[in-house]
Structure 1
Amino acid sequence: MPLGVVMRRTPGVTRWAKWSWKAAAVLPGAGPAEWRELRREGDAVEYHAATRMLELYAAETEAYAHGLAARVPGVYVVMRRVTGEFPLDIVLVTASPFEAQDYADSSEDIVENVPMPPGLIAWVSEFLDEFHQSECFVKRQRDSERVDRKQDGVGDPRIGKAADIYASPGLIRSRLQ
């Protein structure tokens, strides 16, 4: 599904940052756009920054279910800093919090959570109903064999030792003399 990303530019609060940018919303089914101005309220301006495809995969339904179970289900917008009039490039939009975490771990990308509109929640929920298969938790059982009672050897057999390596140094010296 194509999702338009709405970016909001507000004046910065410090002298080092002239503007503050934030992903404000997504527009399901949006057409192509490149930083088209949508709304202006004083110094705050909202832009339709880009339209990216939101793709869902059957193998990642657990992640989507986890995202929908959040207090406020969200879509994650992944951005990278660039130079120019608009300082951010919209890289990706995803509904998977696990994938978003992977991008956030790189520290090269900026990841922001944007609330999902009700229609998008319904679309992802339908996808989950069709493809999600719950896996029940299976606790791993230990083997009954005790492997800690047998000592295979002490140290590396390729290295010759004058005495027991667990003996105190004083005992080793007295044995060697």
Structure 2
Amino acid sequence: MPLGVVIRRTPGATRWAKWAWKAIAVLPGAADADWREIRREGDAVEYHAATLTLELHGAETDAYLHGLAARTPSIYVVLRESDEVDGPPLDAVLVTASPYEAQDYADSGEEIIEKVPMTDGLMAFVQRFVDTHHVEEEFKKRRRDRVRTDRVEHSIGDPRIHQLNDVYTAPQVRKGRMN
């Protein structure tokens, strides 16, 4: 499903950051866009920055269920700083419904991950996909092996050196000799 990414630009809070950028919404079924201005309120401007495809995979249904069960089900927008000097400051890289995939992108520290609330229609779309493709895995309890591991003594000395005394005893100093 194509999702349009809406990014809001507001004045920065410090003199070092002229503008603050934040993904605030997604537009399901949006047409292609390249930083088209949608709305302006004083210094705040909202742009339809890009349209990306939301891809859902059957192997990720556990992650989608986790995301849908959250207090606010969300779509995660992955943004990256742009290399272009004259162009927009951010590139929209990915939209995903998987909080696990978003976490993977957050681990690198190179991308900006924004959490955008899902619309009701988008929640229904993801829920329908999960209902169709989710297979509950049966829990299998692991059992211990019946092999006895306490019979083999490892690391008690070099087996090539014959010792008559106990290998666990502390070395003793011979009387009359000082080292």
Q: TM-score range by the shorter chain?
A: 0.7 to 0.9
CA distance in 2, matches of 1:62, 1:104: 19
Q: CA deviation at 1:145?
A: 3.5
CA distance in 2, matches of 1:35, 1:161: 80
Q: How does 1:1-177 map to 2 (within 5 A)?
A: 1-83=1-83, 84=85, 85-152=87-154, 154-155=156-157, 157=159, 166-169=168-171, 171=172, 174=174
TM-score, L = length of structure 2? 0.87
**Residue identity matched to 1:135:** E
CA distance in 1, matches of 2:13, 2:24: 18
Give the structure with the higher percent helix.
Answer: 1
**Residue identity matched to 1:101:** Q
**Residue identity matched to 1:117:** T
Q: CA deviation at 1:157?
A: 4.8
Identity %: 63
Where in structure 1 do 4 or more consecutive aligned residues deviate above 3 Å?
Answer: 155-158, 160-167
SS of alignment partner, residue 21 of structure 1 = strand
CA 148–17 in structure 1, closer or farther in 2 if over 3 Å, else same: same
SS of alignment partner, residue 51 of structure 2 = strand
SS of alignment partner, residue 154 of structure 1 = coil
Unaligned runs of 5+ in 2: none
1:132-156 deviations in whole A, cap 9, x for unaligned?
Answer: 0112332222234432243245245
**Residue identity matched to 1:125:** Q
**Residue identity matched to 1:16:** W
1:84-117 deviations in whole A, cap 9, x for unaligned?
Answer: 3421111110111111000000011111110011
CA distance in 2, matches of 1:26, 1:132: 25
RMSD (Å) for aligned C-alpha atoms = 2.3
SS of alignment partner, residue 37 of structure 1 = strand
Unaligned runs of 5+ in 1: none
CA distance in 1, matches of 2:62, 2:76: 16
Aligned length: 173
1:34-63 deviations in whole A, cap 9, x for unaligned?
Answer: 100000000000000000000001011111
SS of alignment partner, residue 104 of structure 1 = helix
